[in-house]
Amino acid sequence: MVVHVVSLFLPYTLDFQVPESPSQQSRAEDYFGDPERRLSLLEKTQPIPAKTPGITADEAAFFAQNQPKAATHFVKPHDPRTLMRSDAHVADWGAGLLFNHPPSRAQELPPRTLLGHYAAQPGQDLLGLNNGVGIGAPRKKRSPTPSARKSNASRSTSGQRGKYWGSEWTVEPAEQGNGGLANAIKAAERDNTVGDDIIWMGTLGFPTDSLEENVKNDICEKFDSEELQSLVVFVSDSDFDGHYTHFCKTILWPVFHYQIPDHPKSKAYEDHSYGFYVKVNQAFADKIVASYKRGDMIWIHDYHLLLVPNMVRQKLPDAKIGFFLHTAFPSSEVFRCLSVRKELLEGMLGANLIAFQCPEYEEHFLTTCSRLLVVEAMENGIQLEDRFINVVSTPIGVDPKGFSDARQMEEVAEWIATMKERYKGKKIIAARDKLDHVRGVRQKLLAFELFLNKYPEYKEDVVLIQVATSTPDNPQLTDVVSEIVNRIDSQHSTLAHQPLVFLRQDIPFSQYLALLSVADVLMITSLREGMNLTCHEYILCQDGSMSDKKHGPVILSEFTGSSSVFQGGDLAVNPWDYKTCAQAIKVALEMPVEEKERRYNQLRGIVLNQTGGVWVKELIDDLNKFHAEHQQREMSAIPRLNIAGLTNKYREARNRLFLLDYDGTLANISNPQHVHLNNPYRVIETLTKLSSIPGNLVYVMSGRTPEELSRAFNYLPNVGLIAENGCFVRPFAKDQWTMFPQKAAMLEWKENVKQILQYYHERIAGSRVEEKNCSLIFRYDDVKPEDMESAQRQAGDCANHIDAACSSHRIHAVPIKNGVLIEPLDWTKASAAAWVFDGLRKEVDGEDKAKADGDIDFLFVAGDDREDESAFKWANKLGVSGVVRDVTTVSLGKRNTEAAATLTQGTSGLLSVLKKLSAL
């Protein structure tokens, strides 16, 4: 089996070489910029950052403030399989700093802000709906920078532009992409925990329109080699720019991290960028379908590719598809703000398995699907009409072995010694974050400022070293942070000591490892984050093997996935609660040695047991298991009922139990409000004859009330009845009904639920509430067609409202067709069937009209809907365990099922089978 790991960026990229001849060198300098600086090949190059506030010239030299280089960014430079930075804080697509890449040829999208768009398009509507901007409309090319114009002028000959992007390139480790994922896959391959071939699939991480077709073919051939085992997805620069820069980073990323992009300067109004998102997702899906072989596993990663699972499912119905979201997943209230919310959810639901970092995100997803798609969200997944999708939480980890090897580098030991000398006698608080609105750098600095103001005795002894990689998209945040840094510097710095060292760029990997090794505390205040593996790496560095500093506490935002994983071993804080954060710094600095060791041992055990390699193995094992279960439950995979074999089992049995669903199984229901039997005389005749045979026990199951079933089967006293999906049972040859739920408890929860239903009834014209003894049904099938979408949305809200408000009553709200069913959790058709079955096994009384003369040795269960699945599952277990010799479960429906056989002829076919058995 081959595992396709599908991610937006491959873990490998290319470095194009600069021509060596003088004439070529001159042209290359025009095109590349100064080759000695090795800047990215952008039309707009990024200058070296100026010295940041709050750091002296001496500190700047100490931390080597210069442009990042491949030699310091990677553990093994120029080795494509080197250890990656788990939480990579690198430039975005088209802005790489480590390697020579082609410039983007993406055409210009509308202005970056709504206000700018309006100013640029006088007389047009604010949203640009009338200016021809869209997926099919031509876009203006971006204005080149002066250096780019010079470059174009020096190459007047047609076709010269692609000349410099030819065969002179090398494969390098990627600076883009998900480092945690790459490390986890490499660890699984190295440790042989997954005995499968793994093939990567993704883009190269830079614009590719400048590459000629023969160059692309050479790249594909190289990446498809046994050494790299990767498939390259090529998309146009314009498509990728619209997908990644505009839709992913401007809309999806903020929403997934609870930052609603609703601001005049936001680009979220450019909802046409979703079209580019679709095109890139389709390109990935097409690549997957083209390379897929039967039996392969497809494992899709992260929010960039939410539509791919369903796109692949449409072409490969039986494929084994998994999806893992590395970011947070927001609550339904936040997710519903997306205009394409249904499309994104339906795209994800094309997978067999959807996995998240922690249970909170898993719960949010289940609730969102129930609320927005009005589908049944169960504890372990989503039940669609024809498929079941498992949903789990499996947090990612780091690669302890690879990380330990990286710590053995000579440069790390040197930097540890240097930092220990430089900060001798100081308590170091380490921090490394990207400077954006999600990582909480501003909140951290304000909390640290409050700490210094509140506990001035520490300001000579503590230093916060904040590594904050900057991005050009957040100038306002940069200004605010700079103001805070300047304030701390001016109020608390002295000639001898500086309590805050603020670096607005990343540091070499060796410095990063040394900083984690000599730190006394790690502080992470992300406002929302999928996991955050920096704290995992800090724990590995705090073992005391390379420094006298060890067992340092972790101050960790409670809104990170890692906080839920650490189970209280960290100092969890609310980043917006500056007072508590400041107090946490004091607690961490004053923590007794014994307490630090206890917490550290707890955290280290989690980090060492929950590694990236284990994460890979667990997800692959889960996907294999769930896919096999889904295949067994697919209607196309379930065999038709073997009537000849059933007949033989019937003949050999002495005591037989029939459990037959009523609605849709024995009878076609034309109106759920009324009892309507399809050919009632045939049904009554068949059941009468079947129940009159010695050794036969017949029970009819239904969601209808006892009163309705009593009227329908008053001529069949020897037929037992199960009403309201297992809440009532009338044993055969009896007149009295047994009620399982307590009547007082039923009245209590129904009273509470009615108040909620009344709220939604008033807001949905044409809705109504039906009441049964043990359940309520909120129906909206009489709603006008133009109001149906709004009614469905309200119904989803209603179901979630009831589940949240009334969980203590042991009830749940289940979306059904044009309605919501509210019923008890503890009573089902399976529980009623088990009560009947256990009673029959205990009773062997021929004089009491009991037809059993010993244990049941033939069990036949037939149904067609979700309520019957519990009975199928219960009966199948009896057969597998050997409690009942012959068990037959039959589904007449079209949904995936637990039944072991199907009957495609519907109710008529079932009645024919029962009539044939009764004739024996």
Q: If you search the block for the tokens 């502080």, which residue do you land on?
A: 523
Q: What is the mean pLDDT of residues 453-464?
A: 93
- Portion of the chain with pLDDT greater than 70, in percent: 82
What domains can you pick out in the chain, each with its CATH number?
A: 168-359 (3.40.50.2000), 400-610 (3.40.50.2000), 643-740+827-919 (3.40.50.1000), 743-824 (3.30.70.1020)
Q: Which one is predicted more confidently, 129 or 112? A: 112
Strands (DSSP E) found in 169-216: 169-173, 197-203
| Sheet of strand 768-771, all strands in order from the earlier edge strand to the far edge | 768-771, 776-779, 819-824, 811-816
Summarize the confidence of residues 440-463 as an average pLDDT.
95
pLDDT at residue 846 tops 70: no
Tell me what the mean pLDDT of segment 13-19 comes to. 79
pLDDT at 267 over 60: no
- Long-range Cβ contacts of 493-500 (<8 Å, 24+ apart): 493/54, 494/460, 497/459, 497/460, 497/463, 498/54, 498/55, 498/56, 498/59, 498/463, 499/452, 499/459, 499/462, 499/463, 499/464, 500/54, 500/445, 500/448, 500/463, 500/464, 500/466
Q: List, in order, residues 6 or more apart from 774 with CB less than 8 Å away.
A: 724, 727, 728, 739, 741, 746, 823, 824, 827
Say if residue 712's pLDDT is above 90: no
Residue 407 scores a pLDDT above 80: yes
User: What pLDDT sits at residue 603?
Assistant: 96
Instruction: For 716-773, write each residue's pLDDT tens digit.
Output: 888 999 999 999 999 987 888 999 998 888 889 999 999 999 999 988 988 999 999 9
pLDDT value, residue 111: 55
Position 261 scores a pLDDT of 73
Range from 55-69, 76-90, 301-315, 819-833 carrying the lowest mean pLDDT: 55-69
**349: pLDDT confidence band, cut at 50, 70 and 90?**
very high
What is residue 144's predicted lDDT score, i.e. its pLDDT? 40
Q: Which residue has the higher pLDDT, 480 or 67?
A: 480
Residue 380 has pLDDT above 60, yes or no: yes
Asked if residues 563 and 537 have their Cβ atoms less than 8 Å apart, the reply is: no
Examine the pLDDT at 220 and tell me if it is beyond 90.
Answer: yes
pLDDT at residue 91, as a whole number: 64
* pLDDT above 80 for 119: no
Question: What confidence category does residue 264 fall into, taking pLDDT thresholds of 50, 70 and 90?
Answer: low
Q: Does pLDDT of 190 surpass 50?
A: yes
Contacts of 25 (CB under 8 A, 6+ apart): 18, 19, 35
Residue 642 · residue 901 · CB < 8 Å: yes
The whole-number pLDDT of residue 19 equals: 60
Angle at 634 between CA 387 and CA 374, to 5 degrees: 15
- The mean predicted confidence, pLDDT, of the chain is 84
At 584 the pLDDT is 96
- For position 110, what pLDDT does the model report? 61
- State residue 269's pLDDT score: 46
What would the mean pLDDT of 793-800 be, rounded to a whole number?
Answer: 88
Instruction: Using alpha carbons only, give the angle 542, 547, 549 rounded to the nearest 5 degrees.
Output: 60
| Start-to-end CA span in the chain (Å) | 49
Query: Quick one: pLDDT at residue 678?
Result: 47
Q: Which residues contact 510 (CB under 8 A, 6 or more apart)?
A: 72, 409, 411, 412, 414, 415
845 pLDDT exceeds 80? no
Q: Whole-angstrom Cα distance, residue 155 to residue 210?
A: 14
Which tens digits make up the pLDDT trace of 511-548? 999 999 999 999 999 999 999 999 999 999 999 999 99
pLDDT band at 289 (very low <50, low <70, confident <90, very high): very high
Q: Would you state the pLDDT for residue 194?
A: 78
Q: What is the mean pLDDT of residues 656-669?
A: 88
pLDDT at 31: 37
pLDDT at 469 over 90: no
Weakest mean pLDDT among 115-119, 570-574, 821-825 = 115-119
For the residues 541-560, what does the mean pLDDT come to?
A: 94
- Pairing state between β 376-378 and 381-383: antiparallel
Q: Give pTM, 2 decimals.
A: 0.84
Structure tokens at 870: 């519990």
- What is the reported pLDDT for 820? 92
Confidence tier at 47 by pLDDT (50, 70, 90): very low
Task: Kindly tell me the burial class for residue 643, based on how many C-beta atoms sit within 10 Å of its own C-beta (0-12, 13-18, 19 or more).
Answer: middle
